[in-house]
Amino acid sequence: MSHYMGRRQALAIIGMAGLAALDVFAKPLSYESLENDFKTTIRILTEAYNLEMEANAMYVSFSERAKEENYPNIAYSYKTFAISEKIHANSFAVILEKLNCALDTGTSIFKANTTKKNLLTSVRHEMKKINEIYPGYLEALKAEGHKDAIMSCRYAYLSHKQHTADLELVGKYTENFFLIVAATAEARWLNYHVCSLCGSTSKRIPPAFCQICGKPKETYIHVSRP
């Protein structure tokens, strides 16, 4: 009998502990608590959000200029990159919203130059993200360990990095051989798709799974020509 009562008491204690735990998790965290727990994460994601929204505006303007100058493939590539950047920004915005952080969602304005100069500008921007900005973000995010923030930044970093080889070629030859670079770009057959989850881009129909986030190819969206 005493053994039976002991089990009942134990179950009661476990039950009360479970209810207490549920009560704790049910209480919404205050803004102050979130800000204190993830202060660095909020700062980095806010900066990353602004960075990607500015890049989105930049590539939209570069696409329009390339189309005006009769470089349809370059315009198509820039439109694709603009969509990818917006996906990154949206991913950061979702996490920031969960952290009760308000964002300035005003529209960025970017004035395009000639397509030649725009190519060089985009190479500088992208290589800085690949070599400096995102590695720095990922290192700084480790301390607070917000898994979604780390994953989102990693996806953005890897989707930028997948263009490294093309960026290096464009950066190396555009200044002195722009017409050859442009002709080579225009001779390509392109059919862009972008992963709606991580922003990964593909110049062909994507494989069965996204090479960055591992999700099925159904997460990809087809990019129509501008």
Residue 223 contacts residue 70 (beta carbons within 8 Å): no
220 inside domain: no
The answer to whether residue 217 is domain-embedded is no
- The reply to whether 18 falls in a domain is no
How many structural domains is the chain composed of? 1
pLDDT by position in tens, the chain (length 226): 444 444 444 434 344 444 344 333 333 444 445 556 899 999 999 999 999 999 999 999 999 999 999 999 999 999 999 999 999 999 999 999 999 888 877 777 778 899 999 999 999 999 999 999 999 999 999 999 999 999 999 999 999 999 999 999 999 999 999 999 999 999 999 999 999 999 999 988 888 999 999 999 999 999 999 9
Task: Supply the pLDDT for residue 33.
Answer: 54
Q: What SS3 class is residue 103?
A: coil
**Is residue 221 domain-resident?**
no
| Residue 53 located in a structural domain | yes
* CATH number, residue 47: 1.20.1260.10
198 Cβ contact list (under 8 Å, min separation 6): 87, 91, 155, 156, 158, 159, 210, 212, 213, 215
Q: Are 155 and 199 in contact (CB under 8 A)?
A: yes
Q: Which domain holds residue 132?
A: 30-188
Within-domain flag for 223: no
- Please check whether residue 166 lies inside any domain of the structure: yes
Residue 99, in any domain of the structure: yes
CB distance 26 to 76 below 8 Å? no
User: In a 10 Å sphere around its CB, with 0-12 CB exposed, 13-18 middle and 19+ buried, how is residue 207 labelled?
Assistant: exposed
- Concatenating the DSSP letter of every residue in 153-191 gives HHHHHHHHHTTHHHHHHHHHHHHHHHHHHHHHHHHS---
Would you give the DSSP letter of residue 28? P
CA distance 65 to 91: 28
**149: which strand partners?**
none
